[in-house]
A = this chain, B = another copy of it.
Amino acid sequence: MDPNLALGTLDEFVQVSEPWFRQHLKALVEQRTVSPGAVDDRAIREGAAAACEIFRTAGATAELVESRGTPAVLARFTHPKAKTKVLVYNHLDVQPADPEGWRQRDPFAFEVEPHATRGFLYRGRGSTDDKGPALCALRAASWAVDEGLPIDITFLWETEEEIGSPHFPEIVAARREMLASDCVIVSDTIWPTDTQPAVSAGLRGSLHAILRLKTGGKDVHSGLAGGVARNPLRELCMLATAIDTAAFWHQGVTEASAEEIASYGAAGFDPEYYLQSFDLQKVQTRVPLEMMLRLWTRPTFEIHGLVGGYAGPGTKTIVPHAGELKVSFRLVPDQDAHTVGRALLDFVHAYNPDVEVEIGGSLEPYRATLDGPFHDAIVEALRQTTGRDPVTVREGGSIGAVPVLARELRAPVHFLPLSLPDHGYHAVNEYFDWRQAKVGIEAFARVFAALAGR
Seen from chain A, the residues whose Cβ lies within 8 Å of a Cβ on chain B are: 37, 101, 190, 204, 206, 208, 210, 214-218, 220-231, 233-234, 236-238, 240-241, 244, 274-275, 278-285, 291, 294-295, 298, 300-311, 314-321, 326-328, 330, 354, 360, 395-398, 421, 425-428
CA of A303 to CA of B208, assembled, Å: 24
> Once the chains bind, are B222 and A302 in contact (CB under 8 Å)?
yes
Given contacts A240-B234, A241-B241, A278-B220, contact A226 B396 (CB under 8 A): yes
**The one of B225, B280, B327 that contacts A215, using a Cβ cutoff of 8 Å:** B280
> Once the chains bind, are A427 and B220 in contact (CB under 8 Å)?
yes
Residues of B within 8 A of A221 (CB): 278, 397, 425-427
CB of A127 to closest CB in B, whole Å:
16
**The one of B222, B229, B330 that contacts A280, using a Cβ cutoff of 8 Å:** B229
A217 to chain B: closest residue by CB? B279
CA of A237 to CA of B309, assembled, Å: 15
Residues of B within 8 A of A101 (CB): 218
> Once the chains bind, are B228 and A294 in contact (CB under 8 Å)?
yes
> Once the chains bind, are A229 and B398 in contact (CB under 8 Å)?
no
CB of A269 to closest CB in B, whole Å:
11
Other A-B pairs, 17, CB within 8 Å; known A216-B279, A223-B330, A224-B278: A37-B314, A217-B281, A218-B278, A218-B427, A220-B427, A224-B421, A225-B295, A227-B291, A227-B330, A228-B295, A229-B280, A234-B244, A238-B244, A304-B310, A304-B317, A305-B316, A306-B306
Given contacts A218-B279, A328-B222, contact A227 B396 (CB under 8 A): yes
Residues of B within 8 A of A281 (CB): 214-217
A242 to chain B: closest residue by CB? B241
Residues of B within 8 A of A214 (CB): 281-282
CA of A275 to CA of B398, assembled, Å: 47
> Once the chains bind, are A227 and B304 in contact (CB under 8 Å)?
no
**The one of B210, B216, B280 that contacts A228, using a Cβ cutoff of 8 Å:** B280
Q: Is the interface of A mostly helix, strand, loop or mixed?
A: mixed
CA of A150 to CA of B303, assembled, Å: 66
> Once the chains bind, are B310 and A326 in contact (CB under 8 Å)?
yes
> Once the chains bind, are B278 and A215 in contact (CB under 8 Å)?
no
Residues of B within 8 A of A237 (CB): 236-238, 240-241, 244, 303, 306
How many identical subunits does the complex contain? 2
Residues of B within 8 A of A428 (CB): 218
CA of A382 to CA of B427, assembled, Å: 66
CB of A79 to closest CB in B, whole Å:
37
> Once the chains bind, are B244 and A283 in contact (CB under 8 Å)?
no
CB of A307 to closest CB in B, whole Å:
5
Would you give 13 A-B contacts (Cβ < 8 Å), ordered by A? A37-B314, A214-B281, A218-B428, A224-B421, A227-B291, A228-B291, A233-B306, A236-B237, A282-B354, A303-B320, A306-B306, A306-B309, A315-B327
Given contacts A215-B282, A218-B101, A283-B228, contact A305 B310 (CB under 8 A): yes
Q: Which of A224, A233, A360 counts the most chain B CB atoms within 10 A?
A: A224
> Once the chains bind, are A229 and B283 in contact (CB under 8 Å)?
yes
A245 to chain B: closest residue by CB? B238
> Once the chains bind, are A328 and B320 in contact (CB under 8 Å)?
no
A296 to chain B: closest residue by CB? B227
> Once the chains bind, are A284 and B241 in contact (CB under 8 Å)?
no
> Once the chains bind, are B244 and A330 in contact (CB under 8 Å)?
no
